[in-house]
Amino acid sequence: MWLYEKKLEYPVRVKNKDLRMAKNIITQYGGPDGELSASLRYLTQRYKMPTGKTKALLNDIGTEELAHVEIVCSIIYQLVKDATPEELRAAGLDGYYSQHDNGIFPIDANGIPWTASYIQAMGDPITDLTEDMAAEQKARTTYEHLIALTDDPDVKDPLKFLWAREVIHFQRFGEALVDVQHYFDSKRVF
């Protein structure tokens, strides 16, 4: 079990309401390449990893992705805090408001709800680690797009932190892939 420290991994202090930006950022919560999908993907895939080292890596990164869910949701919440129904309607969030008020619900930027079909787990460690590297690259690119969509430094700052973590996770999965390939190669006896 984990010890939960009741603070965000990275602080979020958004001062200005921006419903348009919240509508875009929510994809990193409930979208196919978002933090929720990543955390569940890695925590599911860990069971088929052939070494304790790779199991631990997927567990650690999967758990960290849950911390990123908290950061993303905090950004969204602060961007929509105290928004009126009229403001939400003007931002194209009236359908969202009718179902969820100002609450946070896992959808993508187009309003499509999160689905378990976003989780990739083939059961083959090499395939899964390759998929994980691709997932981290897609998340990195999405963060780059989100950063380009805002001028608010209070929004950009945690997005840049999350972007940097995607880069590190990609590198760790690459190292894990090499380790797993070496593990499988060393088991062959000719």
Report pLDDT digits (tens) over 48-66: 999 999 999 999 999 999 9
Q: For residue 47, what are the CA distances in angstroms to 54, 136, 148?
A: 10, 20, 37
Domains contained in the chain, CATH given? 19-188 (1.20.1260.10)
pLDDT tens-digit series, residues 124-181: 999 999 999 999 999 999 999 999 999 999 999 999 999 999 999 999 999 999 999 9
Report the predicted TM-score, pTM, of the whole model to 2 decimal places: 0.94
Pinpoint the alpha helices (H) of the chain.
Answer: 19-25, 27-30, 35-45, 52-80, 85-90, 94-100, 125-148, 153-186
Sign of the dihedral through C-alpha 45, 50, 53, 54: negative
Question: How far is 159 from 155, CA to CA, in rounded Å?
Answer: 6
CB neighbour list of residue 116: distance below 8 Å, 6 or more residues apart? 40
Tens digits of residue pLDDT in 58-111 = 999 999 999 999 999 999 999 999 999 999 999 999 899 999 988 899 999 999
Q: Which residue has the tokens 């998929």?
A: 131
